[in-house]
Amino acid sequence: MRGAFPAAVILRPSIVFGREDKFINRFAAMIRLSPVVPVIAGATKLQPVYVGDVAAAVLAALGAAPGSRFELGGPQILTMGELQRWIADATGRKRLFVDVPDAVAAALATGFGWAPGAPITRDQWLMLQRDNVVASGAAGLADLGITPCSLASVADGWLVQYRRHGRFAELAAR
């Protein structure tokens, strides 16, 4: 692809999160409903990046040098297991997290990943076989003049829907 478009500016985001994402929200819904939460690829590292930061990077990249490449990641690196535990804490849920052996996850993704609403597809499983973080020394958000938002700084506004008693959770705890 680079050969066909040598002047193209490339943006490579990590896992993108935001109010209506299908990543954080999917785990939050699962954590809300199930007392036992399966963790697939629990040791895989992710560097979630806020959708607003990715949008700002797209605009900033319009002025970047031709042929530039930027890897976009947020300020935190979390394992898949840490991320799911963070979501549980952020939504006030105490859950039992169970690591799914890789062979079982592969079989689940291969056997049922084609079905609508499958818990994991084969492509998702393949992506989880490698860390998804900004490479050391790579140009990133800071090089575009963007300070990345942390998950905690923006997620509270929408994760409230997954808390017991929703936005009234703090009042119910008193």
Give residue-wise pLDDT tens across range 53-103. 999 999 999 999 999 999 999 999 999 999 999 999 999 999 999 999 999
Of 141, 172, 137, 133, whose CA–CA distance to 44 is shortest? 133
136 in any annotated domain: yes
Decide: residue 58, CB within 10 A, 0-12 exposed, 13-18 middle, 19+ buried.
middle
Check: pTM over 0.85? Answer yes or no: yes
Parent domain of 69: 10-101+132-162
Mean pLDDT of 127-151: 96
Residue 30 in tokens: 């699962």
The three-point CA angle 100-109-120 to 5° equals: 80
Q: What is the CATH number of the domain that holds 77?
A: 3.40.50.720
The structural domain count of the chain equals 1
Integer Cα distance of 166 and 145 in angstroms: 36
170 in any annotated domain: no
